[in-house]
Amino acid sequence: MSEFETYTCDSCNEEFSAHPSSNAAANTYCSPACETDGKGLR
């Protein structure tokens, strides 16, 4: 019983699984590090 979906990370282009209601799905970043990269907040 899996409700996870596959997304592609906006930063590193890796595919990852996340729950549709999670932050990762909303931002389409596989990790906080990629989210920081993708938003240019380094």
**Contact (CB, 8 A) for 9 and 34:** yes
Question: Token pair for residue 35?
Answer: 């989210």
- Around Cβ 29, how many Cβ atoms within 10 Å? 24
Which one among 9, 18, 24, 35 touches Zn ion, defined by CB under 5 A?
A: 9
Which one among 27, 30, 39, 42 touches Zn ion, defined by CB under 5 A?
A: 30
Q: What is the largest CA-CA distance in the chain?
A: 38
The nearer residue to Zn ion, 9 or 18, going by C-beta atoms, is 9
Residue 11 touches Zn ion, criterion: CB under 5 A: yes
What is the total count of residues that contact Zn ion (CB under 5 A)? 6
Residue 18 touches Zn ion, criterion: CB under 5 A: no
